[in-house]
Amino acid sequence: MALVYIVEDDVDIREMEAYALKSAGLSVESFSESGAFFRAVNVQKPDLVLLDIMLPGMDGMTVLKRLRGEADTQTIPIIMVTAKTSEADRVKGLDSGADDYLVKPFGIMELVSRCNALMRRAHRNAVVRSFGPIEIDDDCHRVTVDGCETELTFKEYGLLKYLMQNRGTAVSRDRLMEAVWGFAFTGETRTVDMHIKTLRKKLGAAGQLIETVRNVGYRLGR
């Protein structure tokens, strides 16, 4: 049974989210602040985190950055939950490593659907793909370069996998945003470019295989 951690200081919202996800057959643990949450993460890693931005003490954005900055938590799928509705707030969360975004108030069915969709993307059937020295094992969610494992975030992994699935094809930034982040973004954002930059760095010399296609996007190989 998939395990979801909820980090939300509003009791009513926290209980509503927990009830909805438990009713959908998921195991749920709830936390009102970051301290108890991180102690639980050290004991057992969840399959997904629902993370509110406005938290007492350490806020949600800081929690997100800490999770993405540590090797053993950087690939955990994270949905940000917030009352903030501006596009700038949404982009900030996504650029910082969130995988999806829910704005309060939201519907129960939407909450459950987004959680299930994100976990499906994170736990697909085993597929091993390779290109040059790069190999992806989808079952283990593992990437190796010349046989050495390379730690990638959830989004970096998704970008590499999508480029590998479409190798030799120039893929636009908009298409990558929709395929990896799950929605079409209309506007100016450096999200894809920044993730490609860190992905190339982590792949070392093999990162040169990801080519920049001017005025289009990116391509893996020819």
Per-residue tens of pLDDT for the chain, all 222 residues: 789 999 999 999 999 999 999 999 999 999 999 999 999 998 888 999 999 998 999 999 999 999 988 877 888 899 998 876 666 666 777 777 888 888 888 899 999 999 998 888 776 544 557 888 999 887 677 899 998 999 998 889 989 999 988 888 899 998 898 888 876 655 556 889 999 999 999 999 999 999 999 989 999 987
Same topology, domains 3-122 and 128-220? Answer is no
Pairing outcome for strands 134-137 and 142-145: antiparallel
Query: Are the beta carbons of 159 and 176 closer than 8 angstroms?
Result: yes
Fold of domain 128-220: Arc Repressor Mutant, subunit A (1.10.10)
Which amino acid does the sequence have at 92? K
Which amino acid does the sequence have at 86? S
Confidence (pTM): 0.59
Which amino acid does the sequence have at 153? T
Helix, strand or coil for residue 126? coil
- Domain borders along the chain are 3-122, 128-220
Fold of domain 3-122: Rossmann fold (3.40.50)
